[in-house]
Amino acid sequence: MTDLQKEYIELRSGITHATPGAGTYSYYSNDNWSHARLDHIESKFGGNKTYNGYLHNSKFVEQYLGLWYVTRYYKPKNVIVAGTGYGGCVIGIGVAAKENNNGCIINSYDIPDPTHSTIYNAQASVDRQGLGDIINLHSMDVKDAFEQSPIDYDMMYIDIDNRWEKVYDVLTSNSYIQQQAQNGSHIFIEGGGDMNKKMNQDALNEFHNKMGKEIFSFDIISGWRVSLSKINIITL
């Protein structure tokens, strides 16, 4: 178990953590704790109970809280998010970045979809939380963005399609993205939980067998199905 995992478990096990801004949490055992987590993370998000449409679904809270925590832990200065969606995850990162107060800028990308207005909902949520000065939302594919104008990053969060093949595709689709990933930038994904059949260890083993080599390992940070993990690159 990594230090990051140990400290996160400590944080959510009811032990007061030394990191500024962190609170105390009861261990996940029943719905009461789900509500307690919701109340506490809502306080991290300025007490706005409607910052996006998913906040009151407890299965997403571990993901938001995990992203807030790893951002506080690593204190990145340039974050890339691949997959904005409705904006909950990028806001979780943004709240922590604001608390870090180290000049962090977050660039988040999603492919335009005429059947959904997620990018507009996300922008409204970002603005409502007062994070528009540090979060830039882009309506385009992250790979195309890096082809047009590469950006240095020290942390990336990937939440697209939720398959190991897609994670590999994002990290190898552009030489600039790949180089920074291999040079130590922190890579996180939505996935890794045992209940996520597309993104658990069994699915990764199948992907490795298909590729004929080991590419990733991962350390799960939070969640069982909707989950957050840190990627370790073996080879790309």
Question: What is the domain-level CATH number for residue 81?
Answer: 3.40.50.150
Contacts of 16 (CB under 8 A, 6+ apart): 22, 23, 24
Q: What's the whole-number average pLDDT of the chain?
A: 79
Specify if 46 maps to a domain: no
Q: Which domain holds residue 113?
A: 57-233
- Provide the number of structural domains found in the chain: 1
Tokens 């990191």 — which residue?
19
Specify if 124 maps to a domain: yes
How far is CA 141 from its chain centroid?
A: 17
Give me the residues paired with residue 232 across strands.
217
Spell out, as residue ranges, where the chain has pLDDT lower than 70. 8-60, 113-120
Amino acid at 146: F
Give me the residues paired with residue 186 across strands.
155
Model pLDDT, residue 129: 81
94 within 8 A of 126, measured Cβ to Cβ: yes
Specify if 33 maps to a domain: no
Model pLDDT, residue 155: 98
Model pLDDT, residue 10: 64
- Secondary structure (3-state) at 217: strand
Q: What's the CA gap between 149 and 71, in Å, rounded?
A: 24
Model pLDDT, residue 42: 53
Specify if 189 maps to a domain: yes
Predicted TM-score (pTM) of the model is 0.82
Model pLDDT, residue 69: 86
Model pLDDT, residue 24: 32
Specify if 44 maps to a domain: no
Specify if 182 maps to a domain: yes
Specify if 38 maps to a domain: no
Specify if 5 maps to a domain: no
